[in-house]
């Protein structure tokens, strides 16, 4: 699976015009976002939650490409760093669990406890994840892909034994 999401914006104009296009850089990026105009590097930004401005004289057919690095992140609760949820880019991941589970991992590297599982099937990407070092392992899915399975969103992380 690519380590980024790519978005293309195609400009359609009846005549050239000068204006600014503002691209929102989301806070979930894992490293610098990269902006291209017609295949040429326009700039980079790590400033998640802000807008990146591209001002120029635009022509019909110009293309702006935005590459956003994506990955797994552990998002702790504001009042308890040892409790949090996992995200893959903007999407919340839910652990398929019959009962509440505690994860045993290094708190500073909790996101590395999850890994991709069966990334590709018949030409399309599957968003399946699993824990790497838990016994038994926990399967994770994007919250929007959960049906009637019991699941857990917030996990307590304790130091590995």
pLDDT tens readout for residues 63-117: 999 999 999 999 999 999 999 999 999 999 999 999 999 999 888 889 999 988 8
Residue 35's pLDDT is 98
- What is the torsion angle, in degrees rounded to the nearest 10, for the CA atoms of residue 81, residue 106, residue 138 and residue 101? -50
Segment among 4-8, 36-40, 114-118 with least mean pLDDT: 114-118
Is the pLDDT reported for residue 128 higher than 70? Answer: yes
- What is the maximal distance between C-alpha atoms in the chain? 66
The sign of the CA dihedral 154, 112, 122, 8 is positive
Distance in angstroms (rounded) separating the CA atoms of residues 6 and 25: 12
pLDDT at 122 over 70: no
Beta-carbon count within 10 A of 34 CB: 17
Whole-number pLDDT of residue 118? 67
Domains of the chain: 4-69 (2.60.120.260), 72-158 (no CATH)
pLDDT of residue 125: 74
pLDDT, tens digit (0-9, with 9 covering 90-100), for 8-36: 999 999 999 999 999 999 999 999 999 99
Partner residues linked to 76 by β-bridges:
84
Against a cut of 0.85, is the pTM above it? no
Instruction: Give the model's confidence band at 161: pLDDT under 50 very low, under 70 low, under 90 confident, else very high.
Output: low
Distance, CA of 51 to chain centre: 18
Cα separation of 30 and 75, whole Å?
A: 13
Residue pair 75/84 in contact (Cβ under 8 Å)? The answer is: yes
In this prediction, residues 145-150 reach a mean pLDDT of 92
Q: pLDDT at residue 120 above 70? A: no
Instruction: Give the model's pLDDT for residue 121.
Output: 65
Predicted pLDDT of residue 62: 97
């Amino acid at each position: 699976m690519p380590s980024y999401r790519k978005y293309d914006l195609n400009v359609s104009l009846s005549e050239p015009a000068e204006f600014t296009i503002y691209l929102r850089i989301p806070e979930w990026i894992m490293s610098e976002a990269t902006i291209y105009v017609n295949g040429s590097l326009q700039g980079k930004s790590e400033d998640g939650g802000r807008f990146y401005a591209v001002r120029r004289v635009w022509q019909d057919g110009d293309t702006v490409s935005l590459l956003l690095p994506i990955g797994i992140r552990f998002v702790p609760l504001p009042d308890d760093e040892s409790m949090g949820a996992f995200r893959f880019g903007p999407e919340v991941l839910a652990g398929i669990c019959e009962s509440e589970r505690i994860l045993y991992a290094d708190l500073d590297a909790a996101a590395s406890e999850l890994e991709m599982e069966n990334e590709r099937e018949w030409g399309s990407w599957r968003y399946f994840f699993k824990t790497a070092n838990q016994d038994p392992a926990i399967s994770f899915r994007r919250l929007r892909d959960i049906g009637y399975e019991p699941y857990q969103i917030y996990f307590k992380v304790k130091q590995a034994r």
